[in-house]
Structure 1
Amino acid sequence: MTITVGEIKYTNAFPFFYYVDRNKLLEKDCHFLIQTPATLNREMKAGRIQVGPISSFAYAENVDEFVLMPNLSVSANGPVGSIFLYTKRPLEELEGSRIALTTTSATSVHLLKILLKQYVEVNVTYDEMDPSFDEMMQDHDGCLLIGDEAIVTSWREEVETYRYDLGELWKEYTGTSMTFAVFAVRKDAIARQRAILEELYTAFVLSKEKNRKEQYASMIRHIQKGMGGTTAFWNHYFSNLVYDFHTQQQKGLLLFYEKAYEEGFLPKPIESIKIWGDVRTHHSSLM
């Protein structure tokens, strides 16, 4: 039975996938869809993807259909390094501004709205746009970029704007960490495809741990071939990211869900996070 795995196309999720043996997975009729978080969210909801990382906000929207793989996330306890609000004026002077939002995000879009409304206490209007800094800023007072587009834009020396890291702002205002992506499994897939899902989980965990043990060195060299960037930049970037999903990350995420519900972004409160509790790890041949 075919299984489709979602894979976020950004470098921040790469540690989970770098050492996974995709050829062996293909032999097991397991395929990957590499896309933006927003696309993966839609595909997972529609059932065309059975497992993989999605926006943490998308999990809350589909909490009855999904469970989360234990101890896997893309989180930050402070600066995340790839989710930036660029503005022409300081945060406190954004009242009445127009902000362009990337169409590739779910969590970050709602996080920004919560931060500006509840913490900075400014009212702004939003337009969704494809992630292009120059086009977004042409007719707007600011823009939100995520992922590799945000990283590359941060390298542009000619960009003269204020830049705010949403992970850093969340930490400053709430004192908690922020989880941007989680690894979800469709409940209806577990009964039919448990064995391969458990193999995948093991492969994700082992890839994460091997990268961490190597301090991401091999993976960084691979990334540099396509994106560039200094080794010092990538070392700093990955050192700020948290790939676990312990109590600290879950506490921060539940606070985010609470604020999202208060703003009417979620139809019901999320009081707990459902983890796939009986998933078994075992020797994996998928690395």
Structure 2
Amino acid sequence: MSNKATTTPSSCARPLRLGRIGYLNVLPIYHPLESGIIQHEYELVAGPPAVLNNMMARGDLHVSANSSVEYAHRPQNYLLVPDLAIGSRGPVQSVLLLSRRPVEDLADQPVLVSAETHTSAALLRLLFRDYYKFPVRYEVGSATGRIASGNPPEAFLAIGDEALRLRNHPEFPYRLDLGEAWRQWTGLPFVFGVWVVSRAAAASGCFASDPCELLQRARNWGELHMDVILDLTLQGCPLTREELRQYYQGLVFHMGFPEMEGLRLFYHRLAEAGEIPAAPELEFFSM
């Protein structure tokens, strides 16, 4: 914990606050915590990735799921939770570029990007810049709102539950899965989200028990009880049980060596593109 955090969270104020992405893909980790199957001392705070990024940056959370790019922007504030991530080793199915025309015909066309995402938007910019090698025009807004208003975008980046809901929309017959595009480009997994611990909270001695062990134990429970997770996910979900099973099977919830290599390469390419000052080291929390 060598770098001093630049923000001071509500330090050891009780209860400790744990950020939860409000998407189905993290249900295997958070259901045992939310249901009381695994006891803990945290107040769970749900929100989209961009909101949790901002809350963690302000020091409003002690531990949180965060966009991978948030760690790259403020590594001095955070320590990574070991062996925990949300990513894919191929198609992710919930981070999609949906388009009315083939991707190769999008040069100089507008692409709508949700303000909820930071990492997926950064990955999309890298793909167009360095993989497809042509420019597009980025706009920020709600694809669901635009479609409902009768003014659909030419192409849009959909993430999370919105991507699962709109992935077969008849007006957007062309679909690019960003997890698969990254794998084809690099041969490596892509890590969309990480879990981080506030350096300031850690330095203040806030944690009587290891938050990393708690999250890893929750993840392990979810992986062992996927039938329960599928039953819960089916409620109000447009996918069939088999589609959901395939979706979860395509996700990676661990941060092994290939995932760390993919994350380091992502940071290196962000730095090359001038999106971050430098690629950060991966520093992990330990008690």
TM-score where L is the length of structure 2 = 0.89
Partner SS, residue 284 of structure 2: coil
Of residues 141, 157, 167, the one that matches 1:129 is 141
Give the equivalent residue in structure 2 for 1:207: 218
Of residues 264, 267, 270, the one that matches 2:277 is 267
Supply the distance in 1 between the matched residues of 2:263 and 2:183 (Cα, whole angstroms): 12
C-alpha displacement of 1:86:
0.8
Percent same amino acid at aligned positions? 26
Of residues 240, 258, 274, the one that matches 1:230 is 240
Give the equivalent residue in structure 1 for 2:26: 13
Give the equivalent residue in structure 1 for 2:3: none
Residues 1:146 and 2:159 aligned together? yes
C-alpha displacement of 1:136:
9.2
C-alpha displacement of 1:139:
5.6
CA deviation vs aligned residue, 1:54-97 (integer Å, no higher than 9, x gap): 00000100101100011000010111110000112212121111
C-alpha displacement of 1:135:
5.6
Q: Specify every segment of 5 or more residues in structure 1 that has no aligned partner in the other structure, as ranges.
A: 280-287
Q: Which amino acid aligns with 1:142?
A: A
CA deviation vs aligned residue, 1:246-265 (integer Å, no higher than 9, x gap): 11101001111111111111
C-alpha displacement of 1:14:
1.4
TM-score where L is the length of structure 1 = 0.89
Supply the distance in 1 between the matched residues of 2:83 and 2:40 (Cα, whole angstroms): 27
Over 3 Å counting, the alpha-carbon distance change for 1:228 and 1:125 in structure 2 is: closer
C-alpha displacement of 1:201:
2.6
Question: Would the aligned equivalents of 2:143 and 2:153 in 1 still touch at CA under 8 Å?
Answer: no
C-alpha displacement of 1:206:
1.8
Q: Which amino acid aligns with 1:217?
A: D
Residues 1:193 and 2:206 aligned together? yes
Supply the distance in 1 between the matched residues of 2:44 and 2:153 (Cα, whole angstroms): 36
Supply the distance in 2 between the matched residues of 1:59 and 1:136 (Cα, whole angstroms): 36
Supply the distance in 2 between the matched residues of 1:228 and 1:142 (Cα, whole angstroms): 22
Q: Which amino acid aligns with 1:274?
A: E
Supply the distance in 2 between the matched residues of 1:142 and 1:125 (Cα, whole angstroms): 10
Question: Would the aligned equivalents of 2:100 and 2:171 in 1 still touch at CA under 8 Å?
Answer: no
CA deviation vs aligned residue, 1:210-259 (integer Å, no higher than 9, x gap): 22223x11011011113242110111001011100011101001111111
Once structures 1 and 2 are overlaid, which stretch shifts more, 59-68 or 17-26? 17-26
Over 3 Å counting, the alpha-carbon distance change for 1:27 and 1:218 in structure 2 is: closer
Give the equivalent residue in structure 2 for 1:94: 106
Q: Which amino acid aligns with 1:235?
A: R
Give the equivalent residue in structure 2 for 1:67: 79
Question: Would the aligned equivalents of 1:52 and 1:185 in 2 still touch at CA under 8 Å?
Answer: yes
Partner SS, residue 79 of structure 2: strand
Q: What are the residue-to-residue correspondences of 1:35-114 with 2, within 5 Å?
A: 35-114=47-126
C-alpha displacement of 1:26:
9.4
Question: Would the aligned equivalents of 1:68 and 1:183 in 2 still touch at CA under 8 Å?
Answer: yes
Q: Which amino acid aligns with 2:155?
A: G
Over 3 Å counting, the alpha-carbon distance change for 1:221 and 1:267 in structure 2 is: same
Supply the distance in 1 between the matched residues of 2:220 and 2:149 (Cα, whole angstroms): 38
Q: Which amino acid aligns with 2:274?
A: G
CA deviation vs aligned residue, 1:108-157 (integer Å, no higher than 9, x gap): 0000000011000111110111341616993632100100000011244x
C-alpha displacement of 1:15:
1.3
Residues 1:176 and 2:192 aligned together? no
Partner SS, residue 225 of structure 1: coil
Partner SS, residue 235 of structure 2: helix
Q: Aligned residue pairs: how many?
A: 272
Question: Would the aligned equivalents of 1:4 and 1:51 in 2 still touch at CA under 8 Å?
Answer: yes
Q: Specify every segment of 5 or more residues in structure 2 that has no aligned partner in the other structure, as ranges.
A: 1-12
Give the equivalent residue in structure 2 for 1:165: 177
Give the equivalent residue in structure 2 for 1:285: none
